[in-house]
Each structure stands twice: as structure tokens, then as C-alpha cells.
């Protein structure tokens, strides 16, 4: 018989329950249970409430007690909805050039950028990629992130993209943390492809995506729309084909130039990610759609650029998820909580908005409806911080790490 597990007592249990998907939030909208407890069975939450009352209700030989003997605030396991953490090599030289005044696009045209990582990742063996991806994923788990979206996009040929997606699948099976794979073969046109950008995208549809679907390696397709990547017309052609194949899809948009938002909203993408260069018209476009904006403060920090307009998106009634964009080039930090705290102070986001962006709203940006909230039927994914007040989590600007992390109700 599978036993119940009673976890607690938490000084405060922040459930993120009854949070609306879109719009601005006040901290007083947060459900906070003092002396809280969680009953988990089979990896899913059975009940949330007062620890002592749960103990009275479930306290028999079929319940294991996971007792917390110090001050602790519990929140849902954090979710990073946008990363590129399956890569080989380093782009420290790119970073040095940016510090010396070169722009991201200038570095890419000079032989750096995504193309440099593609060259190194193609040469890496699956075993080497597995080691580095495992290390990064475990770093996330230690910091309270229990679900991570992971993109391919650093090989840009059929064999290499399959290699990356298979490594992501293998690490996902091996670790307790959940890796959500996304195929980003439409990152840029690789330099060794002998044809136009449209012809490259057509080759991805003809050669790679049927294998991805056949092997069940991913049901999510991404494309980068921007200067140096793909145009809006190329992206519409590609995404319509992707849509007809039955894939979910999303868009890298408005990082350096506008246009990605319109494509995402017109075609019905799950999310549009980046948005540093978006305008008020595009904000209203998202507000009228079901597309979830994902902002990436790590990219702004890595490039020394402006942040996406998180405050204006929220005030317009949009949802807002926050991702780290952890990658070897523009966002090498990979610290989701630190980036969220910094974004919050610059964009004047409440703590409720910040925490929703890396829990419930991040889950919905990934089309996941079983996590990001602590309530019955959801996964028993939690992070416990060694403080008595939930506000301390954001207040410490990423320097406060969880002391305990639970994945499906098990301590990690």
C-alpha cells in the first residue's frame, strides 16, 4: 500500500491557490496558511491545511511524517519556462567583447554568437552533453526549481537535433526533476546549409520533425524571429506547417526587433518569449489573445539591455511568466530567483506577481495544469525556505536558497 506523507509544519505555507491567470496582483491576494501542512500520496497532493488538523485526520500507521523542526516558508516548486541548458563549450570571449563595447549582433557576424555554440555542440558526444545537462539540472533542483523547459537548437541539423533531444530525454528519465523538451531547430539558419532560410525551414519540416514526432522526443516547437534569425513571413510559413503536424508552438520574439508578437498572436502560440523591444500596440495584442508572455531578465542582464515591460503587460491584464533564458551566450547566469528579484525592483512588480511568474503562471505558459499550486490533485513539488515570512524570499534578491526541496513529495 502506498503511504500518505505528511509534510510540515511550515511557519507559512504559500499555496498560490486562486491566483488569476492574467493581470496585476496584490500581495494580500496570496493564500498563506500559518502552521501549514501538506499530505502527499503517490507524488500528488491529497490535502493542504493546518498541520495539526491534518495530523488528526491522517495520523495513522499509513502516514509517514516528514517533520520540519525549524522556521520555514513553503512555496510551490519553481518553474523555469525558457532555457537553453543543453550545450557544449563556452562563450566567455563573446562576453568579453560585449564588455569592450561590441553588440550581440556584431559578435555574431564576427563568428561568435549562436553559430559558435553550434560548432562546439555538434562536436560534443552525447555522454559529454549528458554530464553537463545533468549538472545544470541538479543545480536548478538544489535552488528550488522542480520543472525546467529545455530547448534544443545548438546543432541545427537532423542528426544533431535528435542527439540533443535524446540527451534531454535521457536526463529527464534519470533525474527526479522534470525537463520539458522543446525543439528549436529554427534557431538560426546554420552556416553550412546550402540554401535559403525558407529552404532550411522546409528541410526541418520534411526531415527532422517527423522523426521528433515518431520518437516522441518533443511536442513543442519554437522559432526565433529577429534580425539575424528568421523573418515574420518565414516564421508564419514554418509555424503553419508545424501546426498542421499537430505540434504545440511558441515564438522567440521582439528581443532586438518587433514582429514576433504579431506572429504569435495571429497563429495562436502558447507563449511569446523575450519582448524587450515590444510596443504598446503589441501589449494590447497579447492582452486580447490567449498567448502568455514570458519575460527573460537574464538576457537583459547578460546583454546590458532594457528589461521587457513587465509592469505594462500586467497592468494591461496579461499573464506574465518569468524565465532565466540560461544559455552560454546572452544569459550565462542561470539563477531564476535572483533574476526575478531584480526584474521586480526595476519593473515595480509586487511579490505576488513575481512569485506567480515562476510558479503558477510559468506552469500555464508550458501548458502544464498539474503544478505551480499547492492544492489537491497537483504535484507535491515544493521549496522550503529557512525564514518565517514569505517576503524574505524576494527581499534577499536571490541570495536566500531553499534548505529543503521536495519533488513529488520526496525530499531531494
Mean pLDDT of 328-342: 96
Report how far residue 47's alpha carbon sits from residue 115's, in angstroms, rounded to the nearest whole number: 49
Least confident of 81-85, 112-116, 153-157, 205-209: 112-116
Q: Note the Cα 350 to chain centre separation in Å.
A: 20
Question: Per-residue pLDDT tens for 73-123?
Answer: 999 999 999 999 999 999 998 899 989 998 888 888 788 889 999 999 999
**Cα(175)–Cα(382) distance, integer angstroms:** 16
Please tell me which residue, 141 or 93, carries the higher pLDDT value.
141
User: Is the per-residue pLDDT at 262 higher than 70?
Assistant: yes
Check pLDDT > 70 for residue 32: yes
pLDDT surpassing 90 at residue 48: yes
pLDDT of residue 342: 98
CA distance 294 to 301: 16
Report the pLDDT averaged over residues 165-183.
98
pLDDT of 256 reads 94
Q: What is the DSSP string of 150-197?
A: EE--SS-SHHHHHHHHHHHHHHHHHSSSEEEEEEEEESS--TT--S-H
* pLDDT score, position 111: 81
What is the tens place of the pLDDT at every residue in 291-304?
Answer: 999 999 999 999 99
Question: Chain-wide mean pLDDT for the chain?
Answer: 96
- Nearby residues of 215 by Cβ (< 8 Å), 6 or more positions away: 162, 165, 166
What pLDDT does residue 201 have?
A: 98
**In this model, does residue 61 exceed pLDDT 80?**
no
* 79-365: in CATH 3.40.50.1370: no
**Contact 249/220 with Cβ under 8 angstroms?**
yes
Report pLDDT for 92: 92
Residues of the chain with pLDDT > 70, as a percent, come to 100
Q: Please give the average per-residue pLDDT across 206-215, as a whole number.
A: 98
Domain positions in the chain are 4-77+372-411, 79-365
Please determine, for residue 366, whether its predicted confidence score (pLDDT) is greater than 80.
yes
Number of continuous H segments (helices) and E segments (strands) in the chain: 17, 16
User: How does residue 1 score in pLDDT terms, banded at 50, 70 and 90?
Assistant: low
Above 90 in pLDDT, residue 150? Answer: yes
DSSP annotation of 101: T
What global pTM score does this model have? 0.97
pLDDT value of position 110 = 80
- pLDDT tops 90 at residue 287: yes
Residue 406 has pLDDT above 70, yes or no: yes
Residue 113's pLDDT is what? 86
- For residue 333, the model assigns a pLDDT of 94
- CA-closest candidate to residue 367, choices 282, 315, 286, 290: 290
Residue 376 in contact with residue 48, Cβ under 8 Å? yes
Check whether 59 has a pLDDT greater than 90.
no
Architecture of domain 4-77+372-411: Roll (2.30)
Amino acid at each position: 500500500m502506498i503511504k500518505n506523507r505528511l509534510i510540515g509544519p511550515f511557519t507559512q505555507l504559500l499555496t498560490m491557490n486562486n491566483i488569476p491567470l492574467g493581470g496585476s496582483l496584490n500581495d494580500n491576494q496570496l493564500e498563506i496558511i500559518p502552521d501549514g501542512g501538506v499530505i502527499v500520496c503517490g507524488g500528488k497532493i491529497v490535502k493542504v491545511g493546518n498541520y495539526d488538523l491534518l495530523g488528526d485526520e491522517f495520523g495513522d500507521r499509513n502516514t509517514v511524517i516528514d517533520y520540519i523542526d525549524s522556521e520555514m516558508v513553503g512555496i510551490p516548486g519553481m518553474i523555469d519556462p525558457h532555457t537553453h541548458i543543453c550545450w557544449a563549450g563556452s562563450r566567455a570571449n563573446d562576453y568579453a567583447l560585449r564588455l569592450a563595447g561590441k553588440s550581440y549582433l556584431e559578435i555574431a557576424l564576427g563568428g561568435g554568437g549562436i553559430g559558435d555554440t553550434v560548432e562546439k555542440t555538434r562536436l560534443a558526444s552525447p555522454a559529454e552533453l549528458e554530464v553537463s545537462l545533468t549538472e545544470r539540472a541538479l543545480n536548478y533542483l538544489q535552488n528550488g526549481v522542480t520543472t525546467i523547459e529545455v530547448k534544443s537548437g545548438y546543432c541545427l541539423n537532423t542528426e544533431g537535433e535528435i542527439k540533443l533531444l535524446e540527451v534531454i530525454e535521457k536526463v529527464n528519465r534519470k533525474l527526479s526533476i522534470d525537463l520539458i523538451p522543446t525543439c528549436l531547430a529554427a534557431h538560426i539558419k546554420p552556416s553550412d546549409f546550402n540554401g535559403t532560410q525558407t529552404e532550411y525551414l522546409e528541410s526541418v519540416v520534411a526531415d527532422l520533425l517527423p522523426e521528433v514526432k515518431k520518437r516522441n522526443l518533443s511536442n513543442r516547437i519554437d522559432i526565433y524571429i529577429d534580425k539575424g534569425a528568421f523573418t515574420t513571413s518565414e516564421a508564419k510559413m514554418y509555424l503553419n506547417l508545424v501546426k498542421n503536424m499537430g505540434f504545440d508552438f511558441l515564438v522567440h520574439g521582439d528581443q532586438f526587433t518587433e514582429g514576433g508578437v504579431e506572429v504569435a498572436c495571429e497563429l495562436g502560440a502558447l507563449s511569446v518569449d523575450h519582448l524587450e523591444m515590444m510596443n504598446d500596440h503589441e501589449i494590447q495584442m497579447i492582452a486580447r489573445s490567449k498567448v502568455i508572455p514570458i519575460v527573460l531578465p537574464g538576457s537583459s542582464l547578460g546583454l546590458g539591455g532594457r528589461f521587457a515591460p513587465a509592469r505594462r503587460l500586467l497592468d494591461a491584464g496579461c499573464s506574465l511568466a518569468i524565465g532565466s533564458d540560461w544559455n552560454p551566450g546572452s544569459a550565462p547566469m542561470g539563477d531564476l530567483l535572483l533574476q526575478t528579484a531584480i526584474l521586480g525592483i526595476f519593473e515595480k512588480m509586487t511579490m505576488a506577481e513575481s512569485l506567480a511568474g515562476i510558479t503558477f503562471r510559468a506552469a500555464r505558459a508550458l501548458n502544464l495544469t498539474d503544478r505551480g499550486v499547492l492544492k489537491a490533485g497537483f504535484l507535491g513539488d515544493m521549496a522550503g525556505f529557512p525564514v518565517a515570512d514569505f517576503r524574505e524570499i524576494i527581499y534577499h534578491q536571490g541570495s536566500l536558497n531553499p534548505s529543503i526541496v521536495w519533488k513529488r513529495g520526496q525530499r531531494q
